[in-house]
A and B are shown apart, each in its own frame.
Chain A
Amino acid sequence: MAYVKLTTLRKIVFSLAGVALMLFAGISFYRIRHLKEPVVLGQGVTQVKKLSDYFKGIKGTINDSYVYMLEGEEAGGTVLVIGGTHPEEPAARLAAWIFTENALLEQGKLLVILSANRSATTVTRLGGAYPPDYTIETPWGGQKFRMGDRWSNPLDQWPDPEVYIHYPSRQELAYIDIRNLNRTWPGRPNGTLTEKTCFAIIQLIKEENVDIAIDLHEAELQYPVISTIVAHQNGQDLAAMASMMISGMEGFDIGMENSPEALHGLSHREIGDHTDAISLLLEAPEPMLDATRGRTDRALLLEGKDEFIVKAGKHGLLFEKMDENGWPIDKRVGRHCSTILQIIELWSEEHQEKALIIKNVPRYKEIIAKGTGAFLHNPATAASNRIKYE
């Protein structure tokens, strides 16, 4: 009798310890999924739409993301900047954030998406021990952002198939990439959440007559497609010229690569194939994504310093330089801002009737000098009707 009671008591104690552990983890997961990221609409933002304005099938889902529209008084071209395709590549979202909060359009139209795959911003890599969030220091305090993952949250799209067959090419891709927004272009209206999201953005590109779509990313240093502009064949000249101009004028080097014609599902291939827009994808270096990294914490995410990756570089395993100074977030955000501006300036020189004139966006050197946070605005002092939450 005493033995039975002891066993029962032991099970209760173990179960309570398990519940405590689960609560501890569960509260953390819940908080990060529901963390609100404020966006202070800059003077240049004239309208805020949602992806469901272009495709009703995404209405009410977590991926019905905002589309920030900045319009100049003079008609011109239209450029779409896509941030948050892979939220675990934070420089992409932060660069898009800077455009939304600061850019002033004199001519043309700029469309910005900060969370292209909003579902993927609400989870971190399973088993990856990633930090759930990170904070960018600003003159008015810190602004917290969700860390995010490369793939849509399984809470929003589950289960994965054994094999992912891309639509419409029928190319076989890794099973997990059915939740990867940069493997599901051009999407379809009756597909998975991730496919529907791509379909909605494709509809946006068509309806808004987008001339150039720029998808922002970061890459590990052990991946050959890094520090580069990947261009669909319809944008090769523009990308090559931008690469030359940036390397000469902006203070950093960036290459240019052709989008492989047989590799499907990626924005630089499918947007160009399925719409009239020029499709470009930008890659900046992010050491935290490297497999040989050390501790995966907020410092690595923001400072980009890691002795193990430095060592990998000494063994010739990297496709980008890496030293003790690392790749801080300001450098990565600055690269994206300058590259976007250079692309738009070169486009505008060649297409006067479809030009865009953008002011008040910092470039690479200014962002390094002042920090990314200097260009984020304080939601506490902004009018409530000029704040959105991602």
Chain B
Amino acid sequence: MGVNLESRHLRRQYQQQPISGWTRRPDANRVDLPVRIYTLGRFSIQLHGHALYSRQARQRRPMEMLQALIALGGRDVGIDMLGHALWPDSDGDLARNNLEVTLHRLRRLFGVKNLFTLHDQRLSLNSSLGWVDAWSFERLVNHADRLLPLAGNPEVVRQLVRVGERLMALYQGNFLERETASTWSLTFRERLRSKLMRHILGFGRVWEQIGDWERAASYYRRGLEIDPLTEALYQRLIVCCRETGQHGDAMTTYLRCQTMLAQHFGIQPSPVTQNLYSSLKS
């Protein structure tokens, strides 16, 4: 169904009165979809451009259901799977009853018609009404996967610059990192994190190949902020610093790598890293 969200008439149809305990904070920006959900590094929701937040602990379960729905893919998620994720100790009937009650509360919280659809025992978050940062991140990663092998083309490189910047902007932190970890959230969290780290190295290589050392270095530094134990990032950063004549920074990077590996694992940098270090002194 096509939705003109600028239409006041239609928008009123989506809006229903939220239940008490939830308020809309007016200091957030307007957005093009009625619902925007941020899960990377934080958990926050914007409803019609206003922040939605809870003051009551009893809203915890509906929010957990939303989080689990997102982590499990968000589309056509079997309600048995969702029920098991949220109430692993409950039997099938009890879990299903809990799920129905919680889904009802979740729908009332948002008050957006058709935001959550249930067909054939499968629940979906309607992506034409709700935007999720983690999904946007995954779509961009998939797009980058198609672009990276074509990085010899200058137009593709220009696209990669935009995609890379957007990816970095979206990934504000790990998926639901401030929420209590659950099995369902961990799997999704680690998958996104792993994709980011892989793409940081992939993008960095492209920037190196076109001689954009500063951009490559900024990617590697960002990667080290996320995971300071990834030796490959130190290696590439040393190369970037060396190529731009920043030998001091290259030495500092090596020493930091050496310190981190010694502190955490009691091991020395690999021969590859040590050779890079030697190249700095020659």
B partners with A: no
Instruction: Please report B residues at the A interface, Cβ cutoff 8 Å.
Output: none
Chain A positions near chain B (C-beta within 8 angstroms): none
